[in-house]
A and B are shown apart, each in its own frame.
Chain A
Amino acid sequence: MPPSPIRPALPISSPCCPERMAADSQRAASGFGLGLRPAFYQDAAEGKVAVDWLELLSENFMVDGGNALQVLDAVASRYPLALHGVSMNLGGSEPLDTAYLDRLAALDERAGAVRISDHLCWTRHGGHYLHDLLPLPYTDEVVEHVARRIEVVQGRLGRRILIENVSSYAECAGGTMPEWEFLSAVASAANCHILLDLNNIVVSAHNHGFDALQYLHAVPADRVRQLHLAGHSEQGPLKIDTHDHAIATSVWTLYVQALRRFGPVATMIERDDHIPPLPELVQELDRARVIAQGACVA
């Protein structure tokens, strides 16, 4: 079913007072969040999730009405929200989906998002969405291609977006640079921000045999606006980005290094499968708070 424009029938959350907006902005810029999942929609709608901000999967809220938009309005009145998408298709070779961008802009208006992000990958080809984050060849031409598309998106949304590094299991042999150079070059050419997923760095470093720290130290610190933490699995010789485990030790170790390099950056945990009870996730997030306090003091 092709998307149609959002026709909000529920009242949109009242505009915040300036003091509240400034406080929210500060919480969202360096605080700690969770990816909002249906398992705790209700708790979040009632303000019972002890986090500074929440990240929503954009596509889950691109609907005309019903429960999703009620949840959206409720959480938007209680938390700063970041919108995180999986279908922007920034690396695609066919035109951007303007209907998708229109819906994202409408969602942004309704949610009052503090950040909008999507992935440095391709997801659509030949008119078909593949619902996966697929690898791009790392070349100068592709840097330019993707950067021009990000500029179009930023023009449509009227703001800078964040691009996220993805986990990968295969790399195109025609690439001429390592992934970290590709990410940095795209962000620079498009003048956009970066959402650095530390679990994805650990997964890809293992799968492709590079040094995760080298990656971390090559990323332009002034562009990193958010960090993702997550768990992964192992399948034969490869690590797989499954988001179904607690955060691995190797990711926590990289997080310490990231905080030393980037300073206090908005950090959140992604959990998409085998989701534990909410207190357990919040406890894991508290570990990130403690690590951040220690690292930033040091």
Chain B
Amino acid sequence: MNSSALRQWQTHFKTFLIEGSNEDALAAQISTAGMADARTRLQVYRNAYYMRLEEALAYYFPVLLAVLGEGEFGRHMAAYIRACPSTSPSVRDLGDHLCDWLERQGFPLWADLAALEWAALIAFDAADAPALSPAVLAALPAEQWPQLHFRCSPSLSFPAMNSNALSVWRAVRAGRHPPQLKAATSAAIVVWRYRGRVMAVSIDENERCLLDGLRTGESLETICDRLPCRSAADAEQIVATILQRAFRHEWLVAIDLR
């Protein structure tokens, strides 16, 4: 068997695992020695493929599983696994496209939950970075503050929600009966890791605007200019309040003086 034949064997096997459409052709290439026929042998691999990956998705998306129930979760995850085969050596990354896929399938509420659980997983394993002490900012002359650029925690993300997914997520994680998942006014949340625990809280439009600006490298002055508020004095007060919260939650890890 040369390299071309090996590639063909693997193409046939992979097609069988994912699609199951070429069972007869592949079975003809299987040794029939022993106590089971070729189809029985091949089905072990195909069943294991879907079971293993569904179990992985259940492990990484427990809130979605709790909301959908095992039967419905299994059906949709099987379809997802078939549509979006893994491209990462780690099965942890299998759910990378689940939110987008659910959205495309017409399940925006489930997509919200998947986005939240994916953000939580990313936060859980994000790079470590010591939190910025407010003393570092306090030590800088106040006239420099408008030009400061902050760096956010690598674990921080802001999935947009159009549902009450955050309430559902919190209830399931706390072992409480979750409220019914339903559409709600569009709102931002922030997900991050705080001293080893993944946290998520709602943020208002000003907070989202400021954190998003900080994350993309804007100075405080630039961010103040485009905050949705009435006056520069209002903006400064809002920024000060949000920064206090950011320090308290350890959303910031460094100040860049440019």
Contact = CB atoms under 8 A, between A and B. Distances in A.
| A, B assembled together | yes
Interface centre among A97, A131, A174, A237 (most CB of B within 10 A): A131
B30 interface: yes
Interface residues of B, number: 56
A240 B256 CA distance: 56
The 5 closest A-B pairs by CB, nearest first: A87-B89, A9-B128, A65-B128, A63-B125, A170-B41
Given A59-B90, A171-B31, A130 B196 contact: no
B19 to A, nearest CB: 12
Interface in B27-60: 28-36, 38, 40-42, 44-45, 48-49, 52-53, 56
Nearest to B34: A209
Contact of B1 (A60, A122, A124, A174): A174
Interface in A110-128: 122, 124-128
Interface stretch (B80-88, B101-109, B160-168, B238-246): B80-88
A171 B126 contact: no
A170 B9 CA distance: 13
A180 to B, nearest CB: 15
Given A3-B90, A131-B53, A237-B36, A93 B41 contact: no
Contact of A66 (B1, B3, B35, B128): B128
A257 interface: no
B173 interface: no
Contact of A1 (B34, B88, B129): B88
A128 B86 contact: yes
Interface in A53-70: 59-60, 62-70
Given A9-B130, A65-B127, 12 more contacts: A3-B89, A59-B92, A64-B125, A65-B126, A66-B193, A130-B85, A170-B42, A172-B30, A173-B31, A208-B34, A209-B35, A238-B36
B36 A173 contact: no
B11 interface: yes
Interface in B136-188: 154-155
Q: Secondary structure of the A side of the interface?
A: loop
Interface stretch (A19-27, A135-143, A156-164): A135-143
Contacts of B73: none
A279 interface: no
Contact of B6 (A62, A65, A142, A207): A142
B125 A59 contact: no
Interface in A38-96: 59-60, 62-70, 87, 92-94
A28 to B, nearest CB: 25
A236 B40 contact: yes
Contacts of A274: none
Contacts of A169: 36, 41-42, 44-45
B127 A64 contact: yes
A10 interface: yes
A62 B48 CA distance: 24
Contacts of B257: none
A236 B36 contact: yes
Given A125-B10, A137-B6, A207-B34, A238 B89 contact: no
A95 B209 CA distance: 44
Nearest to B93: A1
Nearest to B4: A93
Contacts of A128: 14, 18, 85-87
Contact of B88 (A3, A64, A207, A209): A3
B17 interface: yes
B91 interface: yes
A2 interface: yes
A175 interface: yes
Contacts of B7: 93-94
B96 interface: yes
Given A9-B128, A142-B1, A174 B52 contact: no
A132 B90 contact: no
